[in-house]
Chains A and B, each alone.
Chain A
Amino acid sequence: MPVFKTSFNGYSVKFSPFYENQLAVATAQNFGILGNGRLHVLQLGPVITERAAFDTAEGVYDLCWSESHDSLIVAAVADGSLKIYDLSLPPASNPIRSLHEHARECHGVDFNTVRKDSFLSASWDDTVKLWTVDRPASVKTFKEHAYCVYSAAWNPRHADVFASASGDCTTRIWDVREPGSTMILPAHEFEILACDWNKYDDCIIATASVDKSIKVWDVRNYRVPVAVLNGHGYAVRKVKFSPHRGSVIASCSYDMTMCLWDYMVEDALIGR
Chain B
Amino acid sequence: MEKAVERQRVLLQHLRPSFTSSSLEDIECSISASICSAGDSASYHRSSVFGDDVVIVAAYRTAQCKSKRGGFKDTYPDDLLAPVLRALIEKTNVNPSEVGDIVVGTVLAPGAQRASECRMAAFYAGFPETVPVRTVNRQCSSGLQAVADVAAAIRAGFYDIGIGAGLESMTINPMAWEGSVNPRVKTMAQAQDCLLPMGITSENVAHRFGVTRQEQDQAAVESHRKAAAATASGKFKDEIIPVKTKIVDPKTGDEKEVTISVDDGIRPNALLADLGKLKPVFKKDGSTTAGNSSQVSDGAGAVLLMKRSVAMQKGLPILGVFRSFAAVGVDPAIMGVGPAVAIPAAVKSAGLELGDIDLFEINEAFASQYVYCRKKLELDPEKINVNGGAMAIGHPLGATGARCVATLLHEMKRRGRDCRFGVVSMCIGTGMGAAAVFERGDSCDDLCNARKAETQNFLSKDAR
**Residues of A participating in the B interface, judged by any CB pair closer than 8 Å:** 7, 31-36, 38, 47, 50, 53, 57, 78, 105, 124, 148, 167, 190-191, 193, 210-212, 234-235, 237, 254
Contact = CB atoms under 8 A, between A and B. Distances in A.
A7 B48 contact: yes
A3 to B, nearest CB: 14
Contacts of A35: 462-463
A190 B13 CA distance: 10
Contact of B7 (A7, A105, A237): A105
A58 B222 CA distance: 51
Contacts of A38: 49
A263 B8 CA distance: 33
Contact of A211 (B11, B17, B31): B17
Quick one: which of B4, B8, B10, B15 has the most chain A CB within 10 A?
B10
Interface in B407-464: 445, 459, 462-464
B14 A235 contact: yes
A57 to B, nearest CB: 8
B312 interface: yes
A234 B18 CA distance: 8
B2 to A, nearest CB: 11
B48 A124 contact: no
Given A36-B462, A190-B17, A254-B15, 11 more contacts: A7-B48, A33-B4, A34-B7, A57-B464, A191-B14, A210-B14, A210-B16, A210-B17, A234-B14, A235-B17, A254-B14
Nearest to A5: B445
B29 to A, nearest CB: 14
B315 interface: yes
A237 B14 contact: yes
30 contacts: A7-B47, A7-B48, A7-B445, A32-B11, A33-B8, A33-B31, A34-B4, A34-B459, A34-B463, A36-B462, A38-B49, A53-B49, A78-B7, A148-B10, A190-B16, A190-B17, A191-B13, A191-B14, A193-B14, A210-B13, A210-B15, A210-B16, A234-B14, A234-B15, A234-B18, A235-B15, A235-B17, A237-B14, A254-B14, A254-B15
Q: How large is the interface on B (under 10, 10 to 19, 20 to 34, 35 or more residues)?
A: 20 to 34
A193 B4 CA distance: 19
Contact of A47 (B18, B315, B464): B315
A237 B11 CA distance: 10
Quick one: which of A35, A38, A105 has the most chain B CB within 10 A?
A35
A211 B31 CA distance: 25
Contacts of A34: 4, 7, 459, 463
Interface in B45-90: 47-49
B7 A33 contact: yes
Nearest to A211: B17
A29 to B, nearest CB: 8
Chain A interface, DSSP helix/strand/loop, else mixed: loop
A225 to B, nearest CB: 18
A237 B312 CA distance: 34
B261 to A, nearest CB: 34
A235 B464 CA distance: 29
Contacts of A105: 7
B10 A124 contact: yes
A124 B17 CA distance: 21
B312 A50 contact: yes
Contacts of B14: 191, 193, 210, 234-235, 237, 254
A194 to B, nearest CB: 11
Nearest to A105: B7
A210 B13 CA distance: 8
Nearest to B47: A7
Nearest to B8: A33
A38 B8 CA distance: 20
Contacts of B10: 124, 148, 167
A167 B13 contact: yes
Nearest to A59: B7
Nearest to B33: A34
Contacts of B445: 7
Contacts of B459: 34
B111 to A, nearest CB: 41
A231 to B, nearest CB: 15
Nearest to A107: B10
Contacts of A191: 13-14, 16
A7 B49 contact: yes
A53 B312 CA distance: 13
Interface in B8-32: 8, 10-11, 13-18, 31
A78 B462 CA distance: 15
B49 to A, nearest CB: 6
A268 B464 CA distance: 45
Nearest to B14: A235
